[in-house]
């Protein structure tokens, strides 16, 4: 896994608290940071209410599960500030 992921994950943890993080290699390439709600059927409830996902040009990436509405709202604000819109 590329070392560029570690600072990004640590920055997210510092801002949103101790979160469930999944990492992968050789996955989807160049996925811009996105935030999505968890599946409405409830199959992902134990993971959180939503997730933030990102990957680099080599397909190394991560998913951060947002445990509650407060973390979800903070992540949306951060992403909106980054992109100017979601």
Q: For residue range 20-32, what is the model confidence (pLDDT) as tens digits?
A: 888 889 899 999 9
For the chain, what are the domain ranges? 5-81
Nearest 5°: phi and psi at 77? Answer: -60, -45
Half-sphere exposure in the Cβ direction for 2 (13 Å, CA): 15
Tokens of 24: 């992968």
CA distance 83 to 52: 14
Q: Which residue has the tokens 């992403």?
A: 79
* Segments of the chain scoring below 70 in pLDDT: 1-6, 8-9, 12-13, 15-18, 45, 85-86
Can you give the pTM of this predicted structure? 0.71
- 30 contacts 57 by C-beta, under 8 angstroms: yes
């Amino acid at each position: 896994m590329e070392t560029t992921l570690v600072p990004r994950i640590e920055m997210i943890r510092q801002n949103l608290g101790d979160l469930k993080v999944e990492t992968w290699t050789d996955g989807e390439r160049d996925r811009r940071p996105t935030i999505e709600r968890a599946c409405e059927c409830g199959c992902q409830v134990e993971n959180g209410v939503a997730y933030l996902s990102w990957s680099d040009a080599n397909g190394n990436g991560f998913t951060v599960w947002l445990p509650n509405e407060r973390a979800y709202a903070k992540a949306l604000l951060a992403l909106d500030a980054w992109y100017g819109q979601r």
